[in-house]
Amino acid sequence: MKEISNLMNYRDSIKVVDATLRDGGLVNDFFFTDKFVHDLYLANIKAGVDYMEFGYKGDKEMFDKTKFGKWKFCDEDDLRAVVGDNDTDLKIAVMADVGRCNYKEDIIDRNDSVIDLIRVATYLNQIPTAVDMIENAKSKGYEVSCNIMAISTAQEGDLRAALDILGKSPVDVIYIVDSFGAMYPEQMQRLAAVYVELAEKYGKKVGIHAHNNQQLAFANTIEAVGDGVDWLDATYSSMGRGAGNCAMELLLGFLKNPKYNVFPVIKFIDEHMTKLREQGIVWGYDLQYLMTGLLNQHPRTAIAFTKDDRKDYAEFYKEIVTMD
């Protein structure tokens, strides 16, 4: 049983990361208005959020710039147009996907960038390249985290081997990522124990990035907090791919650290997130995402179901339950 003090008190080691632009950008191809981005930046500062993830460092040879907004690429000039020299306590983060980022060229030296944190995203079979990306970013002066994706499909032996490799790398934070929204708090408790054990061995921190397919993103996040996980991802109004993520307004309402203030988040949601939904941008828990979460499947089929404006939920379930 967790001590009640874990819920009544706070740890100053906890870091909150806003992933609204990055994960939310997967919903609208990163076409956010400049005002939305600037107001989100100011809201995060006022709310006491520790890191703001602006988007990806996407490979421009791989992704057509005309089909995506600027936060698919996070060019330095675009970042500085929002944050200037970022003379604030809020740190700036971007994500670099293994195999989808020209990291040796597109990630410049930290001394020349306003970015503080590079978040490397990888699958288990890509760990060697992830380590090279981590070493590259670290040599350029950045803080570095690593998100191991689709962890609900991994075997524990493979996971422990990957964590041991990452532990020996210069990475600062290793993330539990429930990409399919398939995990329950009891599973999160056991998984967090594995991560924390390896992290403590190598002097690393552990983070969590949860998806809301079974309406458990918040539950899994606060479970992880009680299990010693310090870095917590969240998004405003849960905006993110498919079913979305842990809601920032829920997370800041839960954390007892007086540095965090939920009101600027609520105000931003009132002014901006409702408008996105009115414009037809769709994300969040729905039956099709529940189904893929229950089956521990990638939500791509549910995303297609949503884009096609289908409503035949029973037929969809029959389709995906028979998939190989």
**Residue 50 backbone phi and psi in degrees, to 5:** -85, -40
Q: How remote is the C-alpha of 225 from its chain's centroid? A: 16
Mean pLDDT computed over 114-138: 98
CB 214 within 8 A of CB 181: yes
Mean pLDDT computed over 129-140: 98
Q: How remote is the C-alpha of 247 from its chain's centroid? A: 11
Distance CA 241, CA 257 (A): 28
Mean pLDDT computed over 293-299: 97
pLDDT at 324: 62
pTM: 0.96
Q: How remote is the C-alpha of 12 from its chain's centroid? A: 21
pLDDT at 11: 85
Instruction: Please write the tens of the pLDDT for every residue from 200-241.
Output: 999 999 999 999 999 999 999 999 999 999 999 999 999 999
Mean pLDDT computed over 140-145: 98
- Residue 55 host element (H or E): strand 51-56
CB 245 within 8 A of CB 216: no
> What string of DSSP letters covers 214-241?
TS-HHHHHHHHHHTT--EEEEBGGG-SS
**Cα dihedral 213/219/220/223 (nearest 10):** -170
What is the chain's mean pLDDT, rounded? 96
Mean pLDDT computed over 22-49: 98
pLDDT tops 60 at residue 148? yes
Partners of 302 in the beta sheet? none
What is the CB neighbour count within 10 angstroms for residue 35? 10
pLDDT tops 80 at residue 146? yes
pLDDT-derived band at 9, boundaries 50, 70, 90: confident
Instruction: Please write the tens of the pLDDT for every residue from 250-288.
Output: 999 999 899 999 999 999 999 999 999 999 999 999 999
Partners of 232 in the beta sheet? 16, 208
pLDDT tops 80 at residue 301? yes
- Record: fold of 4-279: TIM Barrel (3.20.20)
pLDDT at 6: 59
pLDDT at 7: 59
Mean pLDDT computed over 99-127: 98
Mean pLDDT computed over 57-72: 97
Residue extents of the structural domains in the chain = 4-279, 287-322
